[in-house]
């Protein structure tokens, strides 16, 4: 009986959390995943991370 209650509680917590994470990812998929930063090298680091991200997508 305790196992059934635990499974139900797990489903009640995990399923909505997974749905929320999926929806948030879909809504922000157009945004750059590269972190924003400030400083003398931030532009260079940003460009390098964008290139690495594009290469990763091409290899997949």
Residue-range domain boundaries for the chain = 2-59
| Cβ proximity of 34 and 50 under 8 Å | yes
Please list, in sequence order, all residues whose beta carbon lies within 8 angstroms of the beta carbon of residue 35, skipping any fewer than 6 positions away. 49
pLDDT digits (tens, 9 = 90+) for 16-53: 999 999 998 888 877 766 566 677 777 888 888 888 88
What's the whole-model pTM score? 0.46
Q: Provide the pLDDT confidence category of residue 13 given band limits of 50, 70 and 90.
A: very high
Comparison of pLDDT for 60 and 16, the residue scoring more = 16
pLDDT of 14 higher than 80: yes
């Amino acid at each position: 009986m305790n196992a059934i209650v635990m499974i139900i509680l797990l489903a009640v917590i995990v399923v909505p959390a997974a749905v929320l994470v999926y929806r948030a990812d879909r809504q922000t998929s157009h945004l750059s995943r590269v972190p924003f930063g400030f400083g003398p090298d931030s532009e260079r680091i940003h460009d390098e991370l964008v290139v690495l991200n594009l290469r990763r997508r091409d290899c997949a």
